[in-house]
A and B are shown apart, each in its own frame.
Chain A
Amino acid sequence: MSAITTPFSERSSAWTLPYRGKVGMAGLIFAESAIFTIFVVAYLFYMGKSLSGPTPREVLETPIFYTICLLSSSLTLHFAGKLLERGRRGAFLTFWLLTILLGALFLYGTGQEWHRLIYEHGLTISTNLFGTTYYSLVGLHAFHVTAGLIMLSIVLLFGLAGRLGPEQSARVDVLSLYWHFVDAVWVVVFTVVYVLGR
């Protein structure tokens, strides 16, 4: 028995495994993808099946400008991550702030669109199937953008407090993965709602 209680002596030197944060975030992204898939399937399934108006063709306008904002925020975030890795804190904060602003601008765009749809066209979630599926799919995405913005802002606060250095770069990268995912989902939502849906 004594051989069992102090069992393992040798130690191998080169033993590295993937960073758990990245693996965890990948798991979350798979779960979220499954959730979005169900909402996208519902949207596609109910396309053109509303019993009453308004229809997407009548009321939807393609939000090209805000889409560009969101997609370019992925780019600025990528640069910010690289800058943090190299320890250039000032430049990192600038790009990080830019990312948050671009994300917030996108959210403003969604808000404006919803305001227009509700007050000008009377489309709410209970109006017809289009309203139900549109608000839930776009809303689900906007919810994820909001969650991402909150997390990005927390990192910004840490950065402004001077608590962020290259040693946190791996953790910041985990958050970046999430934001890239949210952007990638928008490409799908955009295609489904504004291209196929009209």
Chain B
Amino acid sequence: MFSDVIAIQTAEAAGRPWVETLHEWVTTVDHKRLGILYIIYALLFLVIAGLEATIIRIQLIRSHNDFVSPQVFNRMFTMHGTTMIFFVVIPVMFGFANYLVPLMIGARDMAFPRLNAFSFWLTALGGFLLYFSFLGGNGLYGAGSAPDVGWWAYAPLTSRAFSPGHSSDYWTIALLVSGFGSIGTAINLIATIISMRCPGMTLSRMPLFAWLNLIMAGMVILAISPLTAAQVMLSLDRYLGGHFFDTQAGGSATLWMHFFWIFGHPEVYVLVIPAFAFLSEIIPVFSRKPIFGYPVMVGATACIGFVSMSVWAHHMFTIGMNSYANSFFAITTFAVGIPTGIKIFNWLGTMWGGRIQFKTPMLFCIAFLFQFLIAGLTGIMLGAAPFNWQLSGSYFVVAHFHYVIVGGILFALFGAFYYWYPKITGRMFSETLGRLHFWLFVIGFHLTFDLMHIPGVLGMPRRIYTYEPGRGWETLNLLVTIGAFVQGIAILVFVANLIISYFKGTKAGNDPWDAWTLEWSVSSPPPAYNFASIPVVASRRPLWDLKHPEDPDSRYE
């Protein structure tokens, strides 16, 4: 039935002018189209920010390299960090949440479709403003320059005296605008998950994906809002002569640090909890077992969300807080390891005794488990205040958080891309290219980020544009840069796979993985209205019940 509807639409689409299709996409309020827009937008910025990372790595390939000037180098690491966090990972996570949450909870759309579109376009405007700084950063002087204050923009670097022109203002306004977009989407996700579930979908039967995104949305509200407030203060300082972060008038640079990291640390969990959500859907399906310890998973995630709100000052051990504050933030930081460990054991428990299928999405998830564990362990090391005093601001920190974001979040994201690609496009991806992508990326990732820890321990500070020879950093930096290029090639394979499979892939059908959540009950891609009749569910795995009427889950819940 659905496939007929889709076929008619495609036949119509083929005959229509492209302007009309474009108009349809720009004015859409459909959660699936907005989800795709978010994802494509994020992929675009992934390429841009990846190129910036490449420029950074080329500059550092040998000592006294002069590939770019120090000024350009500063702009590159600022733009790389800001773009990756705000315009790659947040939008791509929102994209998946947008696309999947209504489908998984049996709803026809988000709670507020127009707010959804508004939020997306705000985020898009934010990214545009950030990159417009390359043209307009110097105002009307014409030359232009991008922000160069680092992604956390510590005071007083952002004050008028040290950052003339408009580059910092573009940074501020880009984050302010996209922050409003993020808050809008978070509110929308919460309202959707609370108020739009299909009959029978109680909170305890919701897919973990929806649960974890609910917690993520709550954290966005509590974490992005302080950043928004801090950006308003910074704008007041820069435009109206306020003194919030102006040390000359009694203002405090430390206060900015606190405000930034009250946002900055929960932000890490805002990014990683959706990655947990992907794993919690993918691992059970490819282990052919229901998730192990469902209620504990929900509880552990809520616990992570709660504790991560009180760890922010572990980014600030070196500013000289008193010993009580140091102890408090060290202990809370260690405490986050407990619920995270519970989750890792639950995923292992899901795989234990299962008939594991090593398809591409599963490969990425398994790599996640190993790499995220290591990332967590270096995180514990950095959470110990005395150890942190030695290594804060070094390449060890850079290696640690890239291990989290690349080795953890990005790997889970690739898994999600491959897992839901058949649903979103209706075509299967190439398993061969997928495996090639996986192995290339694993090799490149470990070459880059395993080795990057060592120059950090040897004393190489982050954000330096070059270094003296003879400190034992040269070979390591050379290998790190080579690893970055291997990752770049792997990303090209990934993009090629996405594009080629879209045109040449075999038809996926509704349910290529024999999965259990509601999105696999509709056609691929799903029709605009999602469900012809709103489903009624009786267990956590509605499709299992449907396929196995003789032994439904609902009997045991």
- List residues of A whose CB falls within 8 A of some B CB: 1, 3-12, 15, 17-20, 23-24, 27-28, 30-32, 34-39, 42, 45-46, 49-51, 125-126, 128-129, 132-133, 136, 140
Contacts and interface: CB of A to CB of B under 8 A. Distances in A.
B28 interface: no
Nearest to B227: A38
Given A1-B510, A11-B536, A15-B200, A27 B191 contact: yes
A3 B549 CA distance: 11
Given A11-B199, A12-B199, 18 more contacts: A4-B546, A6-B1, A7-B521, A8-B535, A8-B536, A11-B536, A17-B197, A20-B111, A20-B191, A24-B191, A45-B255, A49-B250, A51-B249, A125-B241, A128-B250, A129-B243, A132-B242, A133-B244
A132 B243 contact: yes
- Size bin of chain B's contact surface: 35 or more
B195 interface: yes
Interface in B244-267: 244, 249-252, 255, 259, 262
Contacts of B509: 1
Contacts of A46: 250-252
B116 to A, nearest CB: 12
Q: Is the interface of A mostly helix, strand, loop or mixed?
A: helix
Interface string B211-239: 00000011001101110111011001100
Contacts of B442: none
A5 B535 CA distance: 11
A124 to B, nearest CB: 8
B200 A132 contact: no
B111 A34 contact: no
**Which of A8, A12, A15, A50 has the most CB atoms of chain B within a 10 A radius of its CB?**
A8
A19 B536 CA distance: 20
Contacts of A24: 111-112, 115, 187-188, 190-191
Contact of B187 (A31, A132, A133): A31
A34 B262 CA distance: 11
B457 interface: no
20 contacts: A3-B547, A7-B521, A9-B536, A18-B195, A23-B111, A24-B115, A27-B221, A37-B226, A38-B262, A42-B233, A46-B251, A49-B250, A125-B241, A125-B242, A126-B240, A126-B241, A132-B237, A136-B233, A136-B242, A136-B244
Contacts of A32: 225
A34 B225 CA distance: 6
Nearest to B236: A136
Interface string B99-130: 00000000000011001000000000000000
Contacts of A8: 533-537, 542
Interface in B194-210: 194-197, 199-200
B493 to A, nearest CB: 32
B191 A132 contact: no
Given A38-B226, A38-B259, A125-B241, A20 B112 contact: yes
Which 8 residue pairs are nearest across A and B when measured between Cβ atoms?
A126-B241, A34-B225, A27-B187, A38-B229, A8-B535, A20-B195, A15-B199, A20-B111
A149 to B, nearest CB: 21
A132 B229 contact: no
Contacts of B196: 17, 20
Contacts of B450: none
Nearest to B106: A8
A29 B240 CA distance: 28
A154 to B, nearest CB: 17
A31 B197 contact: no
